[in-house]
């Protein structure tokens, strides 16, 4: 049954897909230690898993002022971790001039999409801004 489907992350038809049944999401949320009373007792009880799941989806899609969503933060952490651990195949760290070439090669992404939190630290953001302004 779909509502009890375990968390699954995969690639389907060229898309990254994340699925979790609402029943499993409920179990995970109720077991989350952030809702503990400090003595190991649960303090969260979800009586309508479907409505709770809708609220979680809204939260995942909620945008900050800069357009960032929690899903972006999750992907940013995965990008960083995969590259740092050497698990990310099919990619490389490039110099700013090469980054400019990428921006020209993929103009439909726009610099904001390439820059938004994916460039993690302030130095990378400064390089991207300099590229945008043609300084590099």
**pLDDT, tens digit (0-9, with 9 covering 90-100), for 7-41:** 999 999 999 999 999 999 999 999 888 877 777 67
* Domain definitions of the chain by residue range: 1-61, 65-136
The per-residue pLDDT for range 59-117, each reduced to its tens digit, is: 999 988 888 889 888 988 888 888 888 777 888 777 666 666 766 776 665 555 555 43
Residues 130, 87: Cα–Cα separation, whole Å: 30
Could you tell me the two tokens for 7?
A: 């968390």
Statement: the pTM of the whole predicted model exceeds 0.85: no
- CB contact at 8 A, 116 and 72: yes
Give the per-residue SS3 of the chain. CHHHCCCEEEEECCEEEEECCHHHHHHHHHHCHHHCCCCCCCCCCCCCHHHHHHHHHHHHHCCCCCCCCHHHHHHHHHHHHHHHCCCCCCCCCCCHHHHHHHHHHCCCCHHHHHHCCCCCCHHHHHHHHHHHCCCC
pLDDT of 56 over the 90 cut: yes
Q: What pLDDT does 31 receive?
A: 87
pLDDT of residue 125 exceeding 60, the answer is: no
């Amino acid at each position: 049954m779909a509502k009890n489907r375990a968390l699954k992350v995969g690639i389907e038809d060229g898309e990254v897909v994340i699925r979790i049944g609402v029943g499993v999401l409920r179990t995970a949320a109720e077991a989350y230690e952030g809702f503990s009373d400090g003595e190991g007792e649960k303090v969260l009880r979800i009586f309508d898993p479907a409505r709770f799941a809708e609220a979680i989806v809204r939260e995942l899609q909620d945008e900050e002022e800069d357009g960032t969503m929690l899903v972006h933060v999750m992907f940013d952490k995965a990008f960083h971790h995969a590259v740092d651990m050497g698990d990310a195949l099919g990619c490389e760290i490039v110099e700013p001039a090469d980054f400019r070439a990428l921006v020209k090669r993929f103009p439909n992404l726009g610099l904001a999409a390439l820059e938004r939190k994916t460039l993690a630290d302030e130095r990378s953001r400064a390089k991207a801004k300099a590229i945008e302004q043609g300084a590099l």
